[in-house]
A and B are shown apart, each in its own frame.
Chain A
Amino acid sequence: MNGVYLPSQFGILFLPLAAVQVKPGDRLRVTCRYSHIGKGETVTLYAAIGNSGWAGFDEILHGSKSISVPEDTSWQYREDYVDISITSAISAGIYDLYAKIDGAIPEVISPTLHDVVEVLAEIPESEFGEISITSYAKV
């Protein structure tokens, strides 16, 4: 089961992550926690939906945004989010999710969460096929 380990007053807490259902037109908000030290800088937070396999992560949809990380004189944990727009470019199915900070060669990359995004089939536009009289009566 996928999940994250979070510090709590009772020690380390394992928070299981269940699959989320999305469909075209939705946005998936991915919230990340990262650790930082040093001067402030602007970096790119990036997240992608796709399939993880032996050759790497085959991305289908992704989202990214710039985030300003403030100066930290000691290691600090920080949180931010990025949205992925769900489009018809992805077909119905179960997908994996990962996030990273910066570029093709990322500074840091998250563990992949497997089978956590379920894309539902797009509901087709309204359409009528045929019509027939099923009864008639005096009213």
Chain B
Amino acid sequence: MAQHADIVEIVAPREAMAGDRVDITVRIKNLYPATIGIMVGGAQEYGVAPWPGIEFPTNWANVLGGVTQSFSGYFTMPYRAVKIHAYSYYYAEGTWHFDDEMIRTIDLAAVPESELSSIEIISYARR
């Protein structure tokens, strides 16, 4: 149970194809009755060590009491299913304190059947 920075939700696709960029949103609620600094972090768990991170271009914000803040992040889908770990921190007494964790699994999407959409002749020459 979070003390101040409660991770409410991870918004992410159920599956993604290897190599695709996966966009996620982590929603964190400030349980404290006044404004505090809240930071987000993330990692990917799929069998490699150390766990690769998740990029959050804006990874912290001053959040009003009782308000839920959304943080957008992204990573590149690996060649297997991945568990994404989202972490929350709050700022107090001059430092960031770890507070909450949420995990969500993203499955590896199957490659679709082969499809061709166009063809054009770009050159021709006598051989």
- From B18, B20, B119, B122, give the contact of A6 (CB < 8 A): B122
Whole-angstrom distance between the Cβ of A23 and the nearest chain B Cβ: 9
Q: Give the contact stretch, choosing among A27-35, A50-58, A127-135.
A: A27-35
Interface size on A, residues (CB 8 A): 45
Residue B14, interface by CB 8 Å: no
On whether A100 and B113 interact (CB within 8 A), knowing A21-B126, A73-B17, the answer reads no
Q: Is the CB of B117 within 8 A of A20?
A: no
Task: Identify which of residues 72-94 in chain B touch chain A, using a CB-to-CB cut-off of 8 Å.
Answer: none
Contact A108 B121, beta carbon cutoff 8 Å: no
Residue in A38, A40, A69, A111 whose CB lies within 8 Å of B120: A111
* A108–B117 touching, CB < 8 Å: yes
Dominant secondary structure at the B interface: strand
Which residues of A in the span 72-114 have a Cβ within 8 Å of any Cβ on B?
73-75, 79, 83, 97-101, 107-111, 113
Bound-complex Cα distance A113 to B121 (A) = 8
Q: Is the CB of B119 within 8 A of A34?
A: yes
Q: Which of B17, B112, B120, B124 contacts A33 (CB 8 A)?
A: B120
How distant is B116 from chain A, measured CB to nearest CB, in Å? 5
The distance in angstroms between the C-alpha atoms of A30 and B116, with both chains bound, is: 19
Can you name 7 A-B pairs with beta carbons within 8 Å? A20-B125, A35-B118, A38-B112, A69-B114, A79-B122, A100-B119, A101-B119
Chain A residues at the B interface, C-beta cutoff of 8 Å: 4, 6, 15, 17, 20-22, 26-41, 43, 47, 69, 71, 73-75, 79, 83, 97-101, 107-111, 113, 116-117
Closest 6 CB pairs of A and B: A34-B119, A38-B114, A27-B127, A41-B114, A38-B112, A108-B119
